[in-house]
Amino acid sequence: MAITELRGMDRIIVPIKLEPGTKFVFQCGPGVPCFKLCCSALYLPLTPYDILRLRDHFGLTTDEFLLQYTEPFILPRSGLPVARLKMRDDAEKTCPFLGEEGCTVYPVRPLACRYYPLGLGIFRNRDEGRNEDFYYLVKEGFCQGLDSGPEITVDEYRKSQGIPETEEPVKEWAEIIMKKESLGPVEVPEKSLQLFFMVSTNPERFRRFVFESKFLEIFEVDEDTLSRIREDDLALLQFGFRWLKSVLFGENLVRRRKEVPEHRKVKPL
Ligand code: SF4
Ligand code: SF4
C-alpha cells in the first residue's frame, strides 16, 4: 500500500479486496455538499513523477519546488523517506493547491488524489514470482460521494482519473517500498536512506551524482542509457529505481564494475 497510503489519517479501510472489474458507487464534483473537504489535513506523499509534473507545472527547479511545497516524511510501514505536500499553516491545514473553485493543479494532481476514495495495494505472489495489484475503498465520515451516484468499475474509475499513465512510471519505485515493507523492521543504513530520498525527490541532484561523482567508475552504464538519462528526467528516474533495487536489495540490474573500493560499497539489506 505504498503510493496511496496516508492521504488522510482518520479513515476506515473497507476490508474488501476490489478487482479491476468490481463496481462501486461514487460521485464527486463541485455539486457535492462535501466539496473540497477532502483536501485538508493530509499526509500526502508525492511520487517522484508527481514531483516532476508539479515542478514543471510551476516552472520551478526541483530544489525550488521541494523547498516551497514539500517537507520530508517517513513512510510508517517501510521507514523510507519521501517528500510529502506541506499543508498551509491555517486552521484547517488546507492543501497549498486548494483554491475557491477546487484543485488548482487538477491536470497534474498527485497520484494519491487521483486514487481517492480508492486505495492501491500490491500483493507479492511468491508462487508466480510477480506482483499483483489490488484495490480497496477508503471511507471517511465527511465524504458523501460514496453514498450515492452512478456505479463505476475500478478500472473505469482509474481510467477516468488518468491513473494508469501517472502510475506506470513509478511502478518500480512502489515495488521498492513494498519490498522494504515486506522485510519488516530491518534497519536501513543512513547512506541508503539518503540515496533513496535523493532518487525519490530530486532528479537534478541524482543526475549530478551520476555524472559528477565517481558513480560511473563504480557502476557499468551503457552509452545509450547514459545519453537518455543525461537529457530525460523520466528516463533518469527509471534508471534510478533500477539502481536502487541493485544497491538496496542486491538485484543485479545496474552492474558494478569488478573493482569497487570497499568504502564506496552500500551493503544490501
Ligand atoms: S492537490 Fe488538489 S486534489 Fe490533491 S489535495 Fe490538493 S487540492 Fe485536493
Ligand atoms: S469528500 Fe468525497 S465526494 Fe466530497 S469532494 Fe472529497 S472526494 Fe468528492
Pocket of ligand 1 (CB under 6 A): 39, 42, 95, 97-98, 103, 105, 109-110, 113
**Centre of ligand 1 from the C-alpha of residue 35, in Å:** 11
pLDDT at 3 over 60: no
CA 53 to chain centre: 12
**Centre of ligand 1 from the C-alpha of residue 255, in Å:** 40
- Give mean pLDDT, residues 71-97: 94
pLDDT at 50 over 90: yes
pLDDT in tens, 181-218: 888 778 888 899 999 999 999 999 999 999 999 899 88
Ligand 2 atom 1: the closest Cα is on which residue?
A: 143
Q: What rounded mean pLDDT belongs to the chain?
A: 88
- Give mean pLDDT, residues 67-92: 94
pLDDT at 238 over 60: yes
pLDDT value of residue 15: 65
pTM of the model: 0.89
267 vs 164, more confident: 164
**Centre of ligand 2 from the C-alpha of residue 254, in Å:** 43
Residue percentage of the chain with pLDDT more than 70: 90
Cβ contact 130:179 at 8 Å: no
pLDDT value of residue 20: 92
Q: How many CB atoms lie within 10 A of CB 237?
A: 24
pLDDT at 2 over 60: no
pLDDT in tens, 102-154: 999 999 999 999 999 998 877 777 777 777 788 988 888 888 888 788 899 99
pLDDT at 51 over 90: yes
